[in-house]
Amino acid sequence: MESDRPHVVHVIDELPPDGAERLIVDVLSNRSERFRYSVVCLVAGGVMVAELNGMNVPVAILDRRRGFDVGTIPVLMRWLYRNDVAVVHTHLYAADSYGRVAAWLLGIKGRFSTRHNTSAWKGTMRQMLARTIALTSTKLIACGAEIGVRMVEQERIPGRLVTVIPNGIDLRRLERARREALRNELRIAPCTVLLGVVGRLHPQKGHLVLIEALAALKMRTDRFVCVIAGSGELHEEIAASIRQQGLVDTVSMLGQRNDIPDVLAALDVFVMPSLWEGLPMALLEAMALAKPAVASAVGAIPDAIETGVNGVLVPAGDANALAQALREIVNDDAKRRMLGANARNTVVKKFNAADTASAYEALYAAALGMPVESR
């Protein structure tokens, strides 16, 4: 019976098409029948709601205001109690805070949080609050080894609370990606090397470093063009930098897209110049589509990329190193194909959402005293 299965709830602020939200959807698309699942959005919905509903995962939206709102805790507690929740799994700072406190106050046995990034919480009070709430967790899930190390060594979270489970993507979602869709839209010639970056237009993502690197690359070769997919607070600053560097005919800003698999399929090289990261879903998606990546050696990215094997790592914030790496890969067609093939193999073997879902469910089962089953 439906009611006999433990109820697991993922809690997050909202469901835009970003990395943490994409992870939730991909993991739930690979869920087992041992548990029943829901998603709670504290603030608003988003484009991912329809996708979750389409696979029979209900989404509740609590419509709480953004920013600090202590009233969120009793509202969430009532929802969790009425819906007989056995496991609460939270994502990102606000939902991590409200969700785990509510679950702890209710005595819910399974209290889990996935850490999606390496950036430390700003401000001493916020750091103290985050650490205190972390101690109420059953387990804290780091999406990569470096994230786990930082949590223990820098945030002083007891190692017994931290476990590493890599992010994974649902490979089935990429099966219908079309290489020619974006290239035809932008009239990109088959011989032109298309570079691309996908992500929020936020300081974390290093877009301005990329623009500087592309300006240097343009002085050495004109074989390439670049697309930037995403929206965010730095849109005008990035657009101004493109104009100032004389790259208007070389770099296209695509805005927010709902066809990211097609965008990634169109690329010849995926670029991720982030200044800090966890294990980005867009990177894994590009690799799964056999795209070599040139990426910053931050967070858990080195868990996925080995220079010269399936991509290239460069120091974060180093525009010259990024330009040099891009020049070498743009000018070597055979190397791009080799790195791309190895990138796909890496994701298939190590970063499959089915494995992530299974590892999550093993944690839930252990917390509830259920036998751990392998798939």
336-362: pLDDT as tens digits: 999 999 999 999 999 999 999 999 999
Evaluated on CA atoms 1, 370, 28, 76, the torsion sign reads positive
Domain 2-168+352-367 is classified in which CATH homologous superfamily?
Glycogen Phosphorylase B; (3.40.50.2000)
Work out the average pLDDT over 47-76: 93
Domain 2-168+352-367 and domain 176-350 have a common topology: yes
**Amino acid code (one letter) for 33:** E
**Mean pLDDT of all residues in 125-142:** 87
Answer for the pair 25, 356: CB distance below 8 angstroms, yes or no: no
**Percent of all residues in the chain with a pLDDT value above 70, rounded to a whole number:** 97
Q: What is the DSSP letter of 133?
A: H
Question: For 166-207, how does the pLDDT look when each residue is reduced to its tens digit (9 = 90+)?
Answer: 999 999 999 999 999 999 999 999 999 999 999 999 999 999
Position 130 confidence tier, pLDDT thresholds 50, 70, 90: confident
pLDDT, tens digit, 9 for 90 and up, residues 101-115: 999 999 999 999 999
Residue ranges in the chain assigned as alpha helix (H) = 19-28, 48-54, 72-82, 93-106, 124-134, 145-153, 179-186, 207-218, 235-244, 260-266, 281-288, 301-304, 319-330, 333-350, 353-367
The pLDDT of residue 67 is 76
Whole-angstrom distance, CA of residue 328 vs CA of residue 318: 16
174 sits in which H/E element: none
**Domain boundary assignment for the chain:** 2-168+352-367, 176-350
Confidence of residue 118 (pLDDT cuts 50, 70, 90): confident
Residues 267 and 237: beta-carbon distance below 8 Å: no
Q: What's the confidence (pLDDT) of residue 70?
A: 85
Mean pLDDT of 223-234: 97
Q: What is the CATH number of domain 176-350?
A: 3.40.50.2000
User: Regarding beta strands 311-314 and 7-12, do their DSSP bridges make them parallel or antiparallel, or are they unpaired?
Assistant: unpaired
